[in-house]
Amino acid sequence: MYTYDLIVIGGGASGIAAAIKAKELGVKKVALVDEKSYLGGVLPQCIHSGFGLVYFKEDLTGPEFTEKLVQKAKKLSFDVYSDTFVFKIIYRDYFEKLVYAVSKHGIKKLKTKTIVYSAGCRERSIYEIGVVGSRPSGIFTAGEAQTLMDIYGIMPGKNIVIVGSGDVGLIMARRFALQGANVKAVIEIMPYPGGLTRNIVQCLNDFNIPLLLSHSVLRVIGKDRIEEVEVCKVDESKKCIEDSIFRIKCDTLIISAGLVPRVELLEDLGISIDPLTKSAVVNDRLETSLPGIFVAGNALVVNDLVDYAVEQGEVAAQGASEFVFNNGISAAQWKKIKLNGNIRFFVPQLISGERDVIMYGRVISPEEKVKLEINEIKKEISFFRVRPSEMIRLRLNKDELSSVKTKSLTFSISKRSE
C-alpha cells in the first residue's frame, strides 16, 4: 500500500492544476490517478483554439493548453498513475481515505489524508433523450466523434445530423464542415441555443449550417447504417406538434445533448448531492460534506471555459493543503446560498465569510437587462444579457462577507429599471 497526503483523481486540466498547486504549497506526497494513457482529459482531442485566454492570457488549442500544464507539472515531483481506473473510495476516518484502482499491473490500494476528486463529466447518450427507433451503426456522442477524428484520424460519416446545440456539438459541426462533410442540421429542443454566442457565429453561421430551434429528433431509421432521422417541431411544453413531422436523410447522428458530472463514487460515499448541479454540495474550499474530500472542475460543475476548471482545481488544492497542514479545515459559521428568480444554481453552496470566494452560476432561461443582487451585502451587478449557456463568474471578497450576520446569502436576478 502506498501512502500519500493528497490523491488527485482525474488527469484533466483541473486535476493537473490541483496537483501542481498542492506541490507549490508544500504538500509533500501527492499522486495523480487517471484512467487514460495521456494527461489532459478531453483537451488533447480539442484541436480548435479558444483555450487559455483567462489563465495563460494566450489563445491556445486544447493540446497546447495541456502541454503548458504538463510542462509546469514536470518541474515538480509527484506520482502519476496513468491507465489506472479508480473503482472505489473508502472513507475510514477523518484523516484516512482508501482509493482502490485497477491497472494493467493489477489492483492498487492507495492511502491518503485528502482527495481532490476531478473526474470530469460524461455525455448524455441517445438512450437518455427519448429517441426511439433502431440502433444501427453511425450513432456517436460528440465526444466519441471528436476522438475518432482528432486522435485516430477516422471520419465517422459524410452526411451529419447533430442533436443539441451545446458548445461541443457546435464545435463538431464546424469540424465536420472543415473536413468536407455535409452537416444537414443542428437540432435543439429548446427555443434558444445551448452554446456560447461566439460558437453559434463561428461554427454555424460562418458555414451556413442550419440551427433548428424548438425541434426534436423522434426516431432513428436504418438497418445496418443509419439512413434517416424523424424530426418534429415542439411546443412550449416540448411536446411534438403532430403535423410538423419530417425526415432528414443522413448516415451519421451525433448526440450532443448535455454533460453530467461523474460523481458515482461520491454518491457511493454518501456525500451530499445538490439536485441543481447534480454534483456535490461544497463549501468555499470546495470541500464536500465528508471532511478531506474536495471536488473541482467539471466533476463539480460543467464549465464553459477550461480556465475556470483550472481555477477550481487550484482552489480545491488550497483547501486540501490547509487540511493537511492544519489537521482539518477550521470550523466556520457556514452561510448557505439561497436562490431567487431566474437562477439555476450557484457554487459553492456554503460560504464562511473568512476568505475571498469565486462564485460560479447559471441562469434558467435567457433574459436581457437584468441585475444580480446579493441582499445581505448590498451588492448589485448589472447584465445586458444572461444565458443558460454562459457561466456567471463573480468574486466576493472577505471584507464584503465578514459583516454578514445572517445564516444565508440570497442571490436574486430581476429586471433592472431603465
Topology given in CATH for the domain delimited by 125-256: FAD/NAD(P)-binding domain (3.50.50)
Question: DSSP assignment, residue 204?
Answer: I
pLDDT of residue 124: 94
Q: Are 245 and 267 in contact (CB under 8 A)?
A: no
Kindly report the CATH number that applies to the domain delimited by 1-124+258-330.
Answer: 3.50.50.60
Provide φ and ψ at 212, rounded to 5°.
-100, 100
Residue 253: strand pairing partners:
139, 161
H or E stretch including 106? Answer: strand 106-117
Three cell numbers written together for 316: 480545491
Domain ranges of the chain: 1-124+258-330, 125-256, 333-418
Q: Which residue has the cell 459524410?
A: 158
Question: Going residue by residue through the chain (418 aa), what tens digit of pLDDT does each one get?
Answer: 799 999 999 999 999 999 999 999 999 999 999 999 999 999 999 998 889 999 999 999 999 999 999 999 999 989 999 999 999 999 999 999 999 999 999 999 999 999 999 999 999 999 999 999 999 999 999 999 999 999 999 999 999 999 999 998 999 999 999 999 999 999 999 999 998 888 999 999 999 999 999 999 999 999 999 999 999 999 999 999 989 999 999 999 999 999 999 999 999 999 999 999 999 999 999 999 999 999 999 999 999 899 999 999 999 999 999 999 998 887 778 999 999 999 999 999 999 988 999 999 999 999 999 999 998 998 999 999 999 989 999 999 998 888 888 899 999 998 887 6
Q: Are 217 and 256 in contact (CB under 8 A)?
A: no
Q: Are 359 and 345 in contact (CB under 8 A)?
A: no
Cα Rg, the chain, nearest whole Å: 22
pLDDT of residue 403: 83
pLDDT of residue 418: 64
Q: Assign residue 364 a region: left if phi > 0, alpha if psi is -120 to 50, beta otherwise?
A: alpha
Q: Are 128 and 114 in contact (CB under 8 A)?
A: no
pLDDT of residue 224: 96
Fold matches, 125-256 and 333-418: no
The dihedral formed by the CA atoms of 282, 284, 290 and 296, expressed in degrees to the nearest 10: 60
pLDDT of residue 367: 94
Three cell numbers written together for 157: 460519416
Kindly report the CATH number that applies to the domain delimited by 333-418.
Answer: 2.60.40
Q: Using N-to-C axis directions, what is the helix angle for 62-74 and 306-326, rounded to 10°? A: 20
